[in-house]
Amino acid sequence: MSAFDSILGQERAVRTLRTALSHPHHAYLFVGPSGVGKETAARAFALALNCERQVGCLDQEGACPECLAIHHGNHPDVRVCAPSEGKRVFSVEDVRKLVQEAGWKSHRGKWKVYIISTDLLNVQGANTLLKTIEEPVPGTVILLLGPAVAAVLPTMVSRCQIVPFGPVARPLIEAELCRRGVAEERSRELGALADGRLGWALTESQQEAAPPPRLIALATVTDRLAEAERLSALDPDAQQRAVESLMVQVRDIIIWAETRRDDLVSRPDLAEIMGAGLPRDYWLRILSRIETHRRQLLGHANAKLAWTVLAGDLAPRAREAERISH
């Protein structure tokens, strides 16, 4: 098994990197949202470049000494670069040191690989690093990881080979979560929320699952108000997760009503109950209402008031159904 096999849903990027193994470019820019596998791919590339078998041994038992050292983070030629202690971004001094090191010969005779997140580079840092990328040092490969080409200095972009990473397909994320023992329903929910960010879904699956918000599912006003109060007391991050979860519920209702396919929605039970009788337009309006609510919370609106009003706005299920039937 090769280290590249652990990267899910990025066939194009993996093909580019596999092909590059025999003659790697001196600098790459991996671009894509966080959590889609850029760092895993960077490590796999570093492994494969230095591996005695040219694959990047994943199997710990039978791994070659080079791969073992990289696995344990003590290979002198492969570095996942971090700012000096206590700093949020690289100082110019950090980058100077890095540039100097990149000029030395490799310790173990193969490739020196530096993995650097562009989010940690300010303009001065990036300009300092630019020299190394402009005048490549033989035997050194710089892997820059960034969210988007637009977020990186153009002078830097033009000197790197760009490797794009897209969002990971939802079924792949769900299957991977299931494979790791996450319950099927939870896998579907996380797959829907992840927006292609497998890494996010994996981290999230380790957290204890919060009960799903029930503003849409509850039937009586009293129950909905109690639920609104419960949600408004959560910490701000949990409130945002609850909002996202509500949006997924509504999206599911719309999708189910159109397709009647249980496999496309995270909670078929809910979709079936709620989708009955109400038109798509109604649910689209609800979706945009929830989006407004999300922004209100981010703008530090009074959470209790915001949730209570939302509970009222999500409530007119019976009323709306009545209106439609007349």
Amino acid type, 246: L
Beta carbon of residue 56, minimum distance to Zn ion (angstroms, whole number): 6
Per DSSP, 27 falls in state: E
Q: Pick between residue 55 and residue 194 the one whose CB is nearest to Zn ion.
A: 55
Q: Pick between residue 111 and residue 165 the one whose CB is nearest to Zn ion.
A: 111
Contact predicate 317/282, CB 8 Å:
no
Q: Pick between residue 47 and residue 98 the one whose CB is nearest to Zn ion.
A: 47
Task: Dump the DSSP string for 94-152.
Answer: HHHHHHHHHTSPPSSSS-EEEEEEGGG--HHHHHHHHHHHHSPPTTEEEEEEES-GGGS
Amino acid type, 50: N
Beta carbon of residue 67, minimum distance to Zn ion (angstroms, whole number): 3
Q: Pick between residue 51 and residue 144 the one whose CB is nearest to Zn ion.
A: 51
Contact predicate 38/199, CB 8 Å:
no
Cα 79 to Cα 17, 95, 144, 160, 248: the distances in Å are 18, 13, 12, 18, 39
Beta carbon of residue 116, minimum distance to Zn ion (angstroms, whole number): 23
Contact predicate 253/283, CB 8 Å:
yes
Q: Which residues of the chain form contacts with Zn ion (CB under 5 A)?
A: 51, 57, 64, 67
Taking Cα atoms as reference points, which of 290, 270, 266 lies closest to residue 193? 266
Q: Pick between residue 50 and residue 232 the one whose CB is nearest to Zn ion.
A: 50
Beta carbon of residue 16, minimum distance to Zn ion (angstroms, whole number): 20
β-bridge pairing 112-117 and 140-146 = parallel
Q: Pick between residue 58 and residue 175 the one whose CB is nearest to Zn ion.
A: 58
Beta carbon of residue 4, minimum distance to Zn ion (angstroms, whole number): 12
Beta carbon of residue 37, minimum distance to Zn ion (angstroms, whole number): 20
Beta carbon of residue 10, minimum distance to Zn ion (angstroms, whole number): 21
Cα 133 to Cα 24, 142, 158, 321: the distances in Å are 13, 8, 10, 63
Q: Pick between residue 67 and residue 257 the one whose CB is nearest to Zn ion.
A: 67
Beta carbon of residue 58, minimum distance to Zn ion (angstroms, whole number): 9
- Two structure tokens written together for 257: 């009503």
- Two structure tokens written together for 162: 């760009």
Q: Pick between residue 52 and residue 262 the one whose CB is nearest to Zn ion.
A: 52
Q: Please list, in sequence order, all residues whose beta carbon lies within 8 angstroms of the beta carbon of residue 1, skipping any fewer than 6 positions away.
A: 58, 59
Task: Dump the DSSP string for 58-79.
Answer: --TTT--HHHHHHHTT--TTEE
